[in-house]
Amino acid sequence: MSPKNRKFLVLAMMVGLGLCTLWRPAQTTAQDATTSFTFVSWGDSRDSNTGPVNTAVLSALSNQVATLSPKFTIFAGDLCSSFDAACVSDTEASWKFAVNDGDPGNGMFDKTFPFRGNHDGDTALWDSYFSGHTEAARLAVGGTNLNCYAADGTECARTYSFDYGNSHIVGIDMPNGDISSMTDGQIDWLDADLTAAENPVNDRGITHTFILDHGPIYYVDGHKSTPSAHLIDVMNAHPTISATFHGHEHVMAHIHIDSAHIPGVTHPWEEFVTGAAGAPLYRCNRKRLIGPTDYCESESAGFMSIAVNGDDATVSLYLQGQTTASQTWKFTTSANPLVTLSATSLDFGTIRVGRQSKPQTVTLTNTGGGALAISGVAVTGTNMGDFSEADDCGTSLPQNASCTISVTFAPTGAGLETADLEIADNASDTPQRVGLTGTGQAAHTK
């Protein structure tokens, strides 16, 4: 081959390789690597009087965090006493220096996603400092499907979400601290964001949703604030929500959120407060304005690690200086449909032969994370002809929806009669059964 032709062949190969790269399809599905990983939640590192950030405490915690090798961390606001030039500088007084434990440090800054608190009020400075960091951090940790709330021009610096493995991470801007300051626009964005993440058509494989904002939804230490009914409706509508993480109140706490804590909650979740990364510590329940917490620690700074393993998540509390966790909580969230029945047996008592009982009902609720496909509801068993059912369940039941099954008993003979109400569907424990019993009493004869 002549030198001229060889040069042309090399050039053609280079162009061909370039075109292959250019036309490679984008990767938009959930990250393949990982349904088992660890991330960290911490927040509130502002100093009280002597400087913008409590460097000594935050640096010490950063070293502890680094030993756990988290895939990423989320930081729940109040980075500095005042979010100003000193806070974002390259000096030893800055938040970046402290969260990295030095310069160049341990690399925590590059994998940390901070969200604003009430001490982080300079919007323009925040946006200019963190807009590029958000995307860089997401790419550095291997996150996918970045989605930003653009209605307020944040450009991915304040309110955004991303996927990591089987989990969806959502952070919401909270410049006033209190949960009541969350806007309807943010809540509507959250609803749409979770709907897209959970939609099986999108094939993102989301099992867990973890939500972060500065102010607790259920306050734990005197910051009296009430979530809107709009927010609770959205929380109820998305069964992938496993837990929320917050700062604002300078304690480490856990609460199982249900209707006893917040009226109107039909989809319980776990709330964790991780607001003790250097800010002045509060006292648990110091103002006696709230209901009980399940756990509260206010004697030491600390952080929480979250180990995700498939459907399970384990949250561990580490206090400053600890090499082992002082407290752990484990919970499970399923992405699959799950049937919950209001009763597992119905007893109709004694009914005279030839007569019919009053109906008894069973409520079927889909408490899982996917739509329940119902293929049949029927009475089966030895005396199935003496029991009858009617229902409004249809063929599909969305997440958190319920239907009613009504059963009556009309004995055709004397004695104990038994049968089963059987529901066939796509839940893992199908079919579900409700035991039916009744006693027939012989009719009077003249």
Same-domain status, 259 and 346: no
pLDDT reported for residue 285: 67
Same-domain status, 199 and 68: yes
Residue 153 has pLDDT above 90, yes or no: no
Same-domain status, 86 and 214: yes
Largest CA distance in the chain: 119
Q: Please indicate, yes or no, if residue 207 is contained in any of the structural domains.
A: yes
Structure tokens given for 131: 């807009």
Q: How many CB atoms lie within 10 A of CB 445?
A: 4
pLDDT reported for residue 22: 26
d(CA 432, CA 264): 28
18 by DSSP, 3-state: which? Answer: helix
**Structural domain tally of the chain?**
2
Average pLDDT score over the chain: 87
Residue 26 has pLDDT above 90, yes or no: no
408 by DSSP, 3-state: which? Answer: strand
Question: Last residue of some domain: 312, 332, 352?
Answer: 332
Q: Please indicate, yes or no, if residue 6 is contained in any of the structural domains.
A: no
Close Cβ partners of 21 (under 8 Å, ≥ 6 residues apart)? none
Residue range of the domain that includes 135: 36-332
Q: What percent of the chain has a predicted confidence (pLDDT) above 70?
A: 88
Q: Please indicate, yes or no, if residue 156 is contained in any of the structural domains.
A: yes
Tell me what the mean pLDDT of segment 344-368 comes to: 94
Residue 30 has pLDDT above 80, yes or no: no
Report the CATH number that the domain containing residue 267 is assigned in CATH: 3.60.21.10
Q: pLDDT grade, residue 370 (50/70/90)? A: confident
Question: Last residue of some domain: 278, 301, 332?
Answer: 332
Q: Do 436 and 409 touch, CB atoms closer than 8 A?
A: yes
Burial of 429: CB neighbours in 10 Å, binned 0-12, 13-18, 19+: exposed
Higher pLDDT, 51 or 201: 201
Structure tokens given for 145: 């499907």
What DSSP line would sit under 322-345, residue for residue?
A: -SS-SEEEEEE--SS--EEES-SE
Question: Last residue of some domain: 300, 332, 364?
Answer: 332
Tell me what the mean pLDDT of segment 68-80 comes to: 96
Report the Cα–Cα distance between both ends of the chain, in Å, rounded: 117
Same-domain status, 132 and 270: yes
The pTM for the full model equals: 0.74
**What stretches of 43-166 adopt beta strand conformation (E)?**
72-75, 112-114, 144-148, 160-164
pLDDT reported for residue 29: 40
pLDDT in tens, 256-308: 998 888 999 888 899 999 999 999 998 886 554 455 678 999 999 999 999 99
| Angle in degrees, 0-180, between the axes of helices 229-237 and 184-198, rounded to the nearest 10 | 0
Same-domain status, 348 and 321: no
Instruction: Report phi then psi at 61, rounded to 5.
Output: -65, -35
Q: Please indicate, yes or no, if residue 31 is contained in any of the structural domains.
A: no
Tell me what the mean pLDDT of segment 395-403 comes to: 86
Q: pLDDT grade, residue 328 (50/70/90)? A: very high
Tell me what the mean pLDDT of segment 129-148 comes to: 92
